[in-house]
Amino acid sequence: MYGEWTRVQGWTAGVGAGLDTGGWHCSWCVDPERIRVKLMSAHNGDFPRWGDYPAKLNTTYIRGLIKRGLWFNDVTKLKRYDDVSGPPSLFANRNRYWTLIHNVYEDSS
Which residues in 93-102 are b (16+ Cβ under 10 Å) and which e?
Answer: eeeebeebee
d(CA 3, CA 45): 12
pLDDT band at 39 (very low <50, low <70, confident <90, very high): very high
If you average pLDDT over residues 44-55, what whole number do you get?
86
Q: What is the pLDDT of residues 54-104, one digit of tens each?
A: 999 999 999 999 888 889 999 988 776 665 566 677 777 777 777 666 777
Which residues in 10-35 are b (16+ Cβ under 10 Å) and which e?
Answer: eeeeeeeeeeeeeeeeeeeeeebeeb
Residue 78, pLDDT score: 78
In this structure, what are the phi and psi dihedrals at residue 61, rounded to the nearest 5 degrees?
-60, -45
Domain residue limits at 52: 27-101
| 36 falls within a domain | yes
Residue 48: count other Cβ atoms within 10 Å of its Cβ. Answer: 11
**Omega before residue 48 within 30° of 0, cis:** yes
DSSP assignments along 45-57, one per residue: T-SS-GGGSGGGG
Residue 12, pLDDT score: 47
| 57 falls within a domain | yes
Q: Is the pTM of this model over 0.75?
A: no
Tally the domains of the chain: 1
